[in-house]
């Protein structure tokens, strides 16, 4: 008998009585114990007798037709095997439908949910549910990725149109609060110029309500020589103190206290007076380095009047104003340039800070022409190659007739070798251990010196050679042999996978690998049979060598003083401003490693004003200041080119420097005694 046909059977009086009794009483919950009347009714059901009395346990609701749902009371109909089913109007509306083909047995109905039996039904159910979950998951992932991409597009659009220099971060380095809603935030956007920090949702409001640092004041027809403070509330630097009460600021866990974006002074909320809001800003500790906005607005007005006497507009009435220009290469060495750009923009005028990946040194240095003559200092954040790039741009200024605007150059070493930086006292490498404020103090206190720059001309051999000779500018050293081979292999590897070379340690490890490889292969052996060397026109007899190095500075190979070497031999110090080149030879890669750890000395070949090297046969690796190439038969001529104005910092003197200075003083004393 079909199950729906059984449900259409007319209900009896006894069943109507039990339905009314069931509807009037609270049904039992799953797991609740039944009384003795329920047990007696089950026994009577098994015998086919009508049930009487007792409290019923609620059976699982079963599906029914629309006709039976329309009937008033429900009913009880006999099922095959004597089982009975209760169907009520209340339960019929939410009953699950039993799949067709299901056979009901004589056993009492279980309170658990009915499921199709059999392995095929189970597999179909599990596969359908898993596929459904997968579809929901894919749909959710698709919606999430779409929302994320749309959000990123909106954020980039705000960043592009904003006057702030917004950058997004997933985690702030210190407790931060949104400048708009004052809520604590872990991630969001911050401005590299004024220091604003906002949540992602408040980004648009912050862009509308807060002004960033003005690189140039708006012209109102009058000449200004001062400007008021520019206050920003909240997120003051750690360990900052109020200029009024001298107590520490930023101690409360909320958006509190004020900071001036120019002079960096901080004030408590309670100490902020009306007089401070209109008080003139003094530009703080680095006022001698900052280019004030009102200076640039005055210069702009003078240029409109076709006047160039910028010396008369020295700000603050100070005579010792030495504005600094920061040039940072974000791709150098340990990739710290991006962080330094933001820190310098906070302390200085953003117009003074340039990213060399976006602006060339030649364009950036044109700012020097708007500043007083012989007063500008340039801080180059990068490796020796970046310094050479900037010095080439300065030489172009000389060609254009801008000698009086030539700046002095300081170095913040971010590269791998940093030999020029080490020679000038700025250290062998920077990894964030010195605060940016201390770096600016060092730039102010540094002394000016000269650096020899040399012209390297490479002329290829051949009867029909119509190519122009290659011309390089050398600041550090020229070499042919194993160290040039290591640089060439390193350069080729970095060109293939530049993402791997993001750390100074990794770079040196790759150099070590190729140096060890050359110790076994010895690709540059018998160099003395392939080249001829002339110093100031005099030919030098070469011993058995694998490499020749021509030095302009004291350091080589990442911090080794090659010319002085070790031992008691009194050799004069290699200087970078005496117009002389030091020429040494090495026996191989292993010999280079011994020299660097002070276990051996190089083969000193002599000093000269002009060096000429002739490569007679085969192809050999060469390099100039870390830029390598493979060269065939040629003639290399090195002559003096010009001087560069550099800044020397005596505070970063190493043990080797101190020992070299003491040795030089000892030699001078002996010379004086002999005289």
pLDDT in tens, 62-94: 444 444 444 444 444 444 444 443 333 333 334
Identify the pLDDT of residue 659: 47
- Residues 646-655 have pLDDT tens digits of 999 987 454 4
Bridge partner list, 242: 266
**Could you write out the DSSP letters of every residue in 42-80?**
HHHHHHTPPP-SS-PPPPPP----HHHHHSSS-EEEE-G
Identify the pLDDT of residue 254: 92
Identify the pLDDT of residue 564: 80
Q: Which of 164, 166, 171 is nearest to 156 (CA)?
A: 166
Of residues 125 and 201, more confidently modeled: 201
- Cβ atoms within 10 A of the Cβ of 238, count? 10
User: If you ran DSSP here, which 8-state letter would residue 241 be given?
Assistant: B
Q: Pull the structure tokens for residue 510.
A: 């790759």
User: If you ran DSSP here, which 8-state letter would residue 437 be given?
Assistant: H
Q: Which of 423, 93, 437, 125 is nearest to 289 (CA)?
A: 437
Identify the pLDDT of residue 146: 59
Report pTM: 0.73
> Helix, strand, coil shares of the chain as percentages rounded to 5?
35, 20, 45
Could you give the CA distance from residue 85 to residue 72 in angstroms, rounded to a whole number? Answer: 17
- Residues 511-541 have pLDDT tens digits of 666 656 655 556 778 888 899 999 999 999 9
- DSSP H helices, 465-503, are 482-496
**Could you write out the DSSP letters of every residue in 291-337?**
--HHHHHHHHHHHHTT---GGGG-GGG-S----EEEEE-TTSTTS-H
- Which residue in this structure is represented by tokens 């004291």? 554
- Residues 416-451 have pLDDT tens digits of 778 999 999 999 889 888 999 999 999 999 999 999
Identify the pLDDT of residue 619: 87
Percent of the chain with pLDDT over 70: 66
Could you give the CA distance from residue 162 to residue 165 in angstroms, rounded to a whole number? Answer: 7
Identify the pLDDT of residue 445: 93
- Residues 16-64 have pLDDT tens digits of 444 344 344 444 444 444 454 555 555 454 444 444 444 444 444 444 4
Report the mean per-residue pLDDT for the chain.
76
Whether pLDDT at 140 is above 90 = no
- Residues 540-596 have pLDDT tens digits of 999 999 899 999 998 988 778 888 876 556 577 788 999 999 999 998 888 888 888
Whether pLDDT at 324 is above 90 = yes
Phi–psi pair at 223, nearest 5 degrees: -90, 130
Q: Pull the structure tokens for residue 267.
A: 């004030």
Could you give the CA distance from residue 368 to residue 365 in angstroms, rounded to a whole number? Answer: 6
- Cβ atoms within 10 A of the Cβ of 610, count? 14
């Amino acid at each position: 008998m079909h199950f729906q046909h059984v449900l259409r059977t007319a209900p009896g009086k006894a069943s109507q009585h039990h339905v009314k009794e069931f509807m009037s009483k609270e049904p039992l919950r799953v797991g609740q114990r039944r009384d003795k009347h329920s047990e007696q009714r089950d026994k009577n059901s098994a015998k086919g007798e009508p049930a009487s009395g007792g409290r019923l346990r609620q059976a699982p609701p079963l599906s029914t037709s629309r006709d039976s749902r329309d009937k008033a009371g429900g009913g009880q109909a006999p099922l095959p095997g004597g089982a009975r089913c209760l169907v009520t109007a209340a339960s019929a509306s939410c009953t699950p439908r039993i799949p067709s083909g299901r056979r009901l047995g004589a056993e009492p109905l279980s309170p658990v949910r009915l499921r199709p039996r059999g392995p095929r039904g189970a597999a179909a159910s599990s596969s359908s549910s898993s596929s459904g979950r997968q579809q929901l998951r894919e749909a959710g992932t698709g919606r999430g990725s779409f929302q994320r991409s749309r959000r990123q597009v909106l954020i980039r659009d705000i960043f592009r149109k904003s006057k702030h220099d917004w950058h997004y971060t997933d985690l702030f380095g210190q407790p931060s609060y949104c400048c708009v809603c004052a809520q604590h935030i872990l991630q969001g956007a911050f401005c590299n110029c004024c220091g604003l920090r906002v949540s992602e949702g408040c980004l648009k409001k912050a862009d509308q309500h807060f002004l960033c640092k003005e690189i140039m004041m708006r012209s109102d027809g009058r000449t200004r020589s001062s400007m008021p403070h520019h206050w920003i509330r909240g997120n003051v630097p750690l360990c900052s103190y109020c200029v009024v009460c001298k107590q520490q600021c930023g101690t409360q866990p909320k958006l509190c206290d004020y900071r001036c974006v120019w002079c960096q002074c901080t004030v408590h909320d309670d100490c902020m007076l009306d007089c401070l809001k209109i008080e003139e800003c003094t530009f703080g500790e680095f006022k001698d380095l900052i280019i004030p906005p009102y200076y640039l607005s005055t210069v702009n007005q003078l240029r409109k009047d076709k006047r160039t006497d910028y010396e008369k507009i020295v700000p603050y009435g100070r005579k010792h104003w030495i504005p600094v220009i920061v040039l940072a290469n974000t791709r150098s060495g340990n990739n710290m340039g991006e962080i330094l750009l933001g820190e310098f923009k906070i302390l200085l005028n953003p117009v003074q800070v340039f990213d060399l990946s976006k602006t060339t040194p030649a364009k950036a240095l044109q700012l020097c022409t708007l500043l007083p003559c012989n007063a500008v200092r340039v801080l180059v954040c990068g490796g020796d190659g970046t310094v050479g790039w900037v010095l080439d741009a300065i030489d172009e200024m000389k060609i254009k007739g801008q000698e009086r605007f030539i700046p002095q150059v300081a170095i913040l070493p971010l590269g791998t070798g940093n030999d020029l930086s080490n020679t000038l006292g700025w250290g062998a490498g920077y990894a964030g251990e010195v605060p940016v404020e201390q770096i600016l103090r060092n730039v102010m206190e540094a002394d000016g010196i000269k650096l020899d720059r040399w012209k390297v001309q490479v002329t290829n051999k051949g009867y029909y050679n119509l190519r122009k000779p290659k011309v390089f500018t050398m600041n550090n050293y020229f070499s042919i042999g194993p160290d040039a081979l290591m640089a060439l292999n390193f350069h080729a590897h970095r060109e293939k996978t530049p993402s791997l070379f993001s750390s100074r340690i990794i770079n040196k490890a790759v150099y070590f690998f190729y140096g060890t490889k050359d110790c076994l292969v010895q690709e540059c052996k018998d160099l003395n049979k392939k080249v001829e060397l002339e110093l100031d026109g005099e030919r030098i007899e070469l011993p058995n060598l694998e490499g020749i190095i021509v030095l302009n500075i004291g350091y080589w190979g990442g911090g080794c003083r090659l010319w002085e070497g070790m031992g008691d031999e009194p050799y004069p110090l290699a200087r970078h401003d005496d117009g002389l080149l030091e020429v040494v030879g090495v026996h191989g890669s292993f010999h280079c490693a011994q020299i660097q750890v002070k276990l051996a000395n190089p083969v000193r070949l002599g000093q000269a004003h002009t060096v000429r090297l002739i490569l007679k046969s085969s192809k050999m690796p060469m390099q100039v200041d870390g830029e390598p190439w493979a060269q065939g038969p040629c003639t290399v001529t090195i002559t003096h080119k010009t001087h560069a104005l550099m800044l020397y910092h005596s505070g970063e003197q190493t043990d080797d420097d101190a020992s070299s200075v003491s040795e030089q003083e000892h030699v001078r004393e002996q010379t004086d005694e002999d005289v």
